[in-house]
Amino acid sequence: MRYTQLGRTGLKVSRLVLGTMNFGPQTDEADSHAIMDAALDAGINFFDTANVYGWGENKGRTEEIIGSWFAQGGGRRDKVVLATKVYGNMGPDGEAWPNHDKLSAVNIRRAVDASLKRLGTDRIDLYQFHHIDRATPFDEIWQAIDVLIQQGKILYAGSSNFPGYKIAQANETAARRGGTIGLVSEQCLYNLAERRAEMEVIPAARDYGLGVIPWSPLHGGLLGGVIKKEAEGGRRASGRAADTLADPVARKQIQAYEDLLEKHGVEPGETALAWLLTRPGVTGPIVGPRTREQLDSALRALELELSEELLASLDEIFPGPGPSPEAFAW
């Protein structure tokens, strides 16, 4: 396993991040525990979750599964850099109750304590804002975070799905307050097929010393060899991938991608992950395996070296927008 610093911090994290969103809804507790054991055995020490995972009436279930895994002992908790998120409504009995969502000081305090209880731990290593909250000023957010850091309940703060200007606003507010650590990471949608983060989000993250943690590295399965799998009678595309393939132009693009990788003798999903590992500013992509086999495939991406020829060909198929303002101006 390869490790890197998380942004400007001294924290060492693995270059693959174990995403746990499927734990509970699609993967039962026993299999989830087995995947976490296998990830730890492979050297993955960075685990990502969110308080809303489990979804619907089962919100919080994923954190509980991680907590029951920690409870097995064996140094599991101390070996893991644990990241979770706050924003979604966690109202009682599944109700969308006021002040049980977003980033008010009231909800942040409540949400941290609830996550700690479900996770069965005394601290969250990286506490991430799952979305921007347009109604809550950053002064209030950082005041709440400062208290939690002083209490030892969280160690670092990160963002998710923030535009570049909000990353700047958050960290400029932190700098003005003094003594506030500010954001140390940004978790964003970023992959070969979705490169808009390169315009402003990633440059802002790099300028402010944030580690970039891409989610959906296979773009909902679209970059995992979906056309070939369909032709071989495997799992059919669904959701975002199915919608994209319904567009003849987009389908032609994905077919070109799969044909290129077949020519080079590499697997699509592993290549998509390996490509992200070459990108400036990227700490590590989040992989969310439903099975042990999917985890093993993700691990193979760490050993995959992409040639300059292949990287250039991938850019031809999936050209990035380029930095701003050149992407939309001169």
Tell me the pLDDT tens digit for each residue of 174-185: 999 998 889 999
Indicate the pLDDT class of residue 12, thresholds 50, 70 and 90.
Answer: very high
Per-residue model confidence (pLDDT) at position 96? 83
Is 233 part of a structural domain of the chain? no
User: Residue 238: is its pLDDT beyond 80?
Assistant: no
Per-residue model confidence (pLDDT) at position 14? 98
Is 86 part of a structural domain of the chain? yes
Reply yes or no on whether 257 is catalytic: no
User: Rounded distance, CA 119 to CA 69, Å?
Assistant: 9
Indicate the pLDDT class of residue 254, thresholds 50, 70 and 90.
Answer: very high
Q: How many domains does the chain have?
A: 1
Q: pLDDT of 117-142, one tens digit each?
A: 999 999 999 999 999 999 999 999 99
Q: pLDDT of 262-304, one tens digit each?
A: 999 999 999 999 999 999 999 999 999 999 999 999 999 999 9
325 prior amide bond cis, ω within 30: yes
Question: At residue 84, what is the residue type?
Answer: T
> What is the average pLDDT across 207-233?
94
Tokens of 36: 């976490």
> What is the average pLDDT across 300-317?
98
Q: Kindly report each contact of residues 76-80 with a partner whose C-beta sits within 8 Å and lies 24 or more positions away, as own/partner.
A: 76/36, 76/40, 77/121, 79/40, 79/45, 80/40, 80/45, 80/46, 80/47, 80/125
Is 213 part of a structural domain of the chain? yes
Is 98 part of a structural domain of the chain? yes
Query: Which residues make Cβ contacts (< 8 Å) with residue 137, sequence separation at least 6?
Result: 173
For residues 239 and 71, the model is more confident at 71
Q: Domain of 289?
A: 3-221+268-317
Catalytic annotation, pick one of 3, 53, 87, 208: 53
Average pLDDT of the chain to the nearest whole number: 96
User: Rounded distance, CA 323 to CA 93, Å?
Assistant: 45
Vertex 277 angle, CA 273 and 283, to 5°:
115
User: Residue 252: is its pLDDT beyond 90?
Assistant: yes
> What is the average pLDDT across 41-50?
98
Following DSSP, what letter does each residue of 239-250 receive, concatenated? Answer: HHHHHHHTSHHH
For residues 240 and 308, the model is more confident at 308
Is 28 part of a structural domain of the chain? yes
Indicate the pLDDT class of residue 251, thresholds 50, 70 and 90.
Answer: very high
Q: What is the pTM of this model?
A: 0.96
> What is the average pLDDT across 202-230?
96
Burial (CB count <10 Å: 0-12, 13-18, 19+), residue 232: exposed
| Share of residues in the chain with pLDDT > 70 (%) | 100
Q: At what angle do helices 248-264 and 268-277 cross, to 10 degrees?
A: 90
Per-residue model confidence (pLDDT) at position 82? 99
DSSP state at residue 193: T
Is 246 part of a structural domain of the chain? no
Tokens of 272: 């998509």
Three-state DSSP at 183 gives strand
Is 77 part of a structural domain of the chain? yes
Q: What is the CATH number of the domain that holds 68?
A: 3.20.20.100
Question: At residue 119, what is the residue type?
Answer: L
Is 144 part of a structural domain of the chain? yes
Per-residue model confidence (pLDDT) at position 325? 95
> What is the average pLDDT across 79-98?
92
Indicate the pLDDT class of residue 93, thresholds 50, 70 and 90.
Answer: confident
